[in-house]
């Protein structure tokens, strides 16, 4: 028998509101706002209030999936990343680097977004970098 | 006061399955279920959370367990309303009633800052009860407005709504699995700003005879809508019309779930 709250940051937008995940016997059952946190100050939007619902959802993907002959099959991260790298490489050599666009995230850290734009510009060679807040 | 509550909780934990109270760690403060052997020095009394809802959730999940809860005046009122609606079993609940300070009462415009423990089979009061604080001055200002001005006031306020459902989710006496506010018959899905006045008046209507004036909806509202100005006036009307004060009296059932045969409406006021 166990009930506790774990404070974390909302996984959705870039505001960074804190929220509490209500956990009963290891199962996430709900969300409470973080009333003593300086960002949200006890408020959440509808996404934050429902941030618990996907975590243990049965439809959640647990491994990468690769589509072959129209069907998805489970794959390892190594295989999936290699496939992505191969495809990006072949698109670049066939159609040029500007055939590739990169979408970053408002939810990533500055450092992660810096790396992503660096990857786009220096490795792929395109300035086509945008972010989820404009999607 | 806090040490007294911690000592009492430690003592009671020897017999109870757990006590719902706020725990402060380096992660922040939130409700938790303290159990025997837990570090009660982490137990704190601020900020407020809807603990009545937590108690209900835990009682439904652990059907044989007996819990305790550290509760303020507003929490005990919410617990009373939840008992009436069969969401909490009072015989499986021990209450540490915490008398709020004058400052806390003023912050909440709370008329009843001390918990009423008479209805509860097992309860202890900690702290010295203080008198009720003056009501929110916005209520009196609002009452001076004409009907048209009132309409404009709420139209302006509710235009700020971002439809987060936070006022419902934080409410210690909202518990339905199926909510009218998510029923496409009443509330059009995907529409932002939600329909005025339908969306908010459904909520207000459902708060009638239920709102215990804890004001947690207002503090949780990201848009700063003064919801309790509306709910205070509804409480006042319900009090005047049928003499019902939510959370005050464990013996009288929720009026909207009963016949009004024994509670005739004051015909003068109902006009």
Tell whether B31 lies on the interface with A, counting CB pairs under 8 A: yes
Of A29, A35, A44, the CB nearest to B47: A35
Q: Would you give the distance in Å from CA B60 to the centre of its chain?
A: 19
For B26-59, the DSSP string reads TTEEEEEEE-TTS-GGGEE--S---HHHHHHHHH
The C-alpha angle A31, A33, A36, rounded to 5 degrees, equals: 145
The residue out of B126, B153, B173 marking a domain boundary is: B126
**Residue B41 lies inside a defined structural domain of this protein:** yes
Q: Is the pLDDT of residue A135 over 70?
A: no
Query: Does B45 lie in the same domain as B91?
Result: yes
In chain B, beta strands by DSSP E: 18-25, 28-34, 43-44, 67-71, 93-98, 122-126
**Residue B269 lies inside a defined structural domain of this protein:** no
CB contact under 8 A, B49 and A36: no
Looking at residue B202, its pLDDT comes to: 92
**Fold exhibited by the domain A3-49:** N-terminal domain of TfIIb (2.20.25)
The residue out of B106, B126, B146 marking a domain boundary is: B126
pLDDT tens-digit readout, A61-109:
999 999 999 999 999 999 999 999 999 999 999 999 999 999 998 778 8
Residue B169: closest CA among A11, A41, A49: A49
Looking at residue A16, its pLDDT comes to: 87
Query: Does B177 lie in the same domain as B204?
Result: yes
Looking at residue A109, its pLDDT comes to: 82
User: Which residue does chain B place closest to A17, by CA atoms?
Assistant: B222
Query: Does B148 lie in the same domain as B37?
Result: no
Instruction: Give the integer Cα–Cα distance in Å for B47 and B252.
Output: 31
Instruction: Give the integer Cα–Cα distance in Å for B166 and A29.
Output: 16
Q: Is the pLDDT of residue B81 over 90?
A: yes
Mean pLDDT (whole number) for B136-159? 95
CB contact under 8 A, B30 and A43: no
Confidence of residue B265 (pLDDT cuts 50, 70, 90): low
Contact in structure between B213 and B239 (CB atoms under 8 Å): no
Confidence of residue B263 (pLDDT cuts 50, 70, 90): low
Mean pLDDT (whole number) for B245-267? 74
Looking at residue B257, its pLDDT comes to: 75
User: Which residue does chain B place closest to A1, by CA atoms?
Assistant: B62
Residue ranges of domains in chain A: 3-49, 76-134
Instruction: Give the integer Cα–Cα distance in Å for B28 and B21.
Output: 14
**Residue B132 lies inside a defined structural domain of this protein:** no
Looking at residue B262, its pLDDT comes to: 60
- Residue whose entry in the numeric block shows the structure tokens 């200002």: B141
Please count the residues of chain B.
271
Q: Is the pLDDT of residue B198 over 60?
A: yes
Contact in structure between A46 and B164 (CB atoms under 8 Å): yes
Looking at residue B250, its pLDDT comes to: 84
Mean pLDDT (whole number) for B169-197? 91
Query: Does B115 lie in the same domain as B27?
Result: yes
Query: Does B151 lie in the same domain as B118?
Result: no
Tell whether A6 lies on the interface with B, counting CB pairs under 8 A: yes
Contact in structure between B132 and B55 (CB atoms under 8 Å): no
A16: chain B residues, CB-CB within 8 Å: none
Looking at residue B42, its pLDDT comes to: 97
pLDDT tens-digit readout, A48-57:
999 999 898 9
- Helix H or strand E segment including B238: helix B227-242
Confidence of residue B268 (pLDDT cuts 50, 70, 90): low
**Residue B12 lies inside a defined structural domain of this protein:** yes
Instruction: Give the integer Cα–Cα distance in Å for A125 and B63.
Output: 62
Tell whether A2 lies on the interface with B, counting CB pairs under 8 A: yes
Looking at residue B259, its pLDDT comes to: 62
Residue B200: closest CA among B247, B238, B153, B246: B153
**Residue B270 lies inside a defined structural domain of this protein:** no
Instruction: Report the number of distinct structural domains present in chain B.
Output: 2
Mean pLDDT (whole number) for B126-139? 95
Of A36, A45, A48, the CB nearest to B28: A36
The CA-atom distances, in angstroms, between A102 and each of A67, A94, B47, B74, B266 are 21, 18, 43, 51, 68
Q: Mean of the per-residue pLDDT values for chain A?
A: 93
Query: Does B230 lie in the same domain as B162?
Result: yes
CB contact under 8 A, A1 and B29: no
Q: How many angstroms away from the CA of A33 is the closest CA of chain B?
A: 8
Q: What is the largest CA-CA distance in chain B?
A: 60
Residue A55: closest CA among A30, A37, A25: A30
pLDDT tens-digit readout, B170-182:
999 999 989 999 9
Interface ipTM: 0.89
Looking at residue A83, its pLDDT comes to: 97
Confidence of residue A131 (pLDDT cuts 50, 70, 90): confident
Query: Does B186 lie in the same domain as B73?
Result: no
**Residue B247 lies inside a defined structural domain of this protein:** yes
Q: Is the pLDDT of residue A38 over 90?
A: yes
CB contact under 8 A, A33 and B164: no
The CA-atom distances, in angstroms, between B61 and each of A16, A25, B64, B89, B144 are 32, 10, 9, 12, 48
Pairing of strands A65-68, B18-25: unpaired
Mean pLDDT (whole number) for B40-58? 96
Mean pLDDT (whole number) for B196-214? 91
Helix, strand, coil % in chain A, rounded to nearest 5: 35, 25, 40
Cβ within 8 Å of residue B224, ≥6 positions away: B160
Looking at residue B261, its pLDDT comes to: 62
B220: chain A residues, CB-CB within 8 Å: 33, 42-44
Instruction: Give the integer Cα–Cα distance in Å for B220 and A40.
Output: 9
Q: Is the pLDDT of residue B269 over 60?
A: no
Q: What percent of chain B has pLDDT over 70?
A: 95
Mean pLDDT (whole number) for B86-115? 95
pLDDT tens-digit readout, A14-24:
888 999 999 99
Question: Which residue range forms the structural domain that includes residue B161?
Answer: 137-264
Q: Mean of the per-residue pLDDT values for chain B?
A: 92
Confidence of residue B197 (pLDDT cuts 50, 70, 90): confident
What's the first-to-final CA gap in chain B, in angstroms?
A: 48
Query: Does B84 lie in the same domain as B145?
Result: no
Instruction: Give the integer Cα–Cα distance in Å for B143 and A33.
Output: 32
Instruction: Give the integer Cα–Cα distance in Å for B124 and B63.
Output: 24
CB contact under 8 A, B27 and A6: yes
Q: Could you check whether the bond before residue B193 is cis, i.e. omega within 30 degrees of 0?
A: yes
Report residue A19 as tokens.
Answer: 């929220």
Query: Does B189 lie in the same domain as B91?
Result: no
Q: What percent of chain B has pLDDT over 90?
A: 84
Q: How many angstroms away from the CA of B194 is the closest CA of chain A?
A: 13
């Amino acid at each position: 028998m166990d009930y506790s709250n774990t404070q974390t940051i909302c996984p959705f937008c870039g505001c960074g509101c804190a929220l509490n995940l209500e956990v009963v016997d290891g199962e996430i059952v709900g969300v409470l706002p973080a009333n003593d946190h300086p960002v949200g100050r006890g408020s959440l939007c509808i996404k934050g209030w429902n941030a618990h619902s996907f975590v243990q959802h049965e439809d959640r993907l647990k491994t990468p999936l690769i589509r072959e002959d129209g069907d998805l099959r489970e794959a390892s991260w190594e295989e999936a990343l290699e496939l992505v790298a191969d495809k990006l490489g072949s698109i670049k050599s066939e159609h040029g680097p500007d055939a590739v666009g990169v979408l970053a995230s408002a939810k990533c850290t500055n450092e992660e977004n810096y790396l992503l734009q660096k990857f786009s510009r220096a490795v792929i060679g395109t300035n086509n970098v945008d972010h989820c807040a404009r999607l | 006061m806090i040490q007294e509550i911690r000592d009492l909780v430690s003592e009671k934990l020897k017999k109870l399955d757990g006590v719902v109270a706020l725990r402060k760690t380096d992660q922040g403060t939130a409700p938790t279920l303290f159990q025997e052997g837990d570090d009660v020095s982490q137990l704190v009394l601020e900020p407020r959370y809807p603990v009545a809802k937590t108690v209900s959730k835990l009682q439904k999940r652990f059907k044989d367990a007996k819990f305790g809860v550290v509760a303020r005046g507003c929490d005990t009122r919410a617990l009373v309303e939840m008992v009436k609606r069969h969401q909490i079993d009072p015989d499986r609940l021990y209450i540490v009633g915490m008398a709020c300070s004058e400052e806390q009462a003023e912050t909440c415009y709370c008329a009843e800052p001390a918990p009423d423990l008479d209805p509860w089979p097992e309860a202890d009061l900690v702290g010295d009860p203080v008198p009720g604080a003056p009501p929110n001055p916005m209520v009196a200002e609002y009452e001076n407005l004409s009907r048209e001005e009132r309409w404009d006031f709420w139209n302006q306020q509710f235009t700020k709504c971002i439809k987060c459902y936070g006022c419902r989710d934080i409410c210690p006496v909202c518990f339905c699995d199926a909510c009218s506010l998510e029923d496409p018959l009443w509330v059009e899905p995907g529409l932002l700003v939600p329909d005025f006045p339908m969306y908010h008046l459904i909520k207000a209507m459902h708060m009638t005879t239920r709102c215990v004036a804890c004001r947690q909806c207002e503090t949780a509202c990201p848009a700063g809508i003064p919801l309790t100005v509306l709910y205070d006036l509804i409480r006042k009307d319900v009090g005047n019309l049928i003499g019902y004060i939510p959370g005050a009296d464990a013996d009288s059932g929720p009026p909207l779930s009963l016949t009004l045969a024994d509670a005739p409406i004051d015909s003068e006021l109902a006009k």
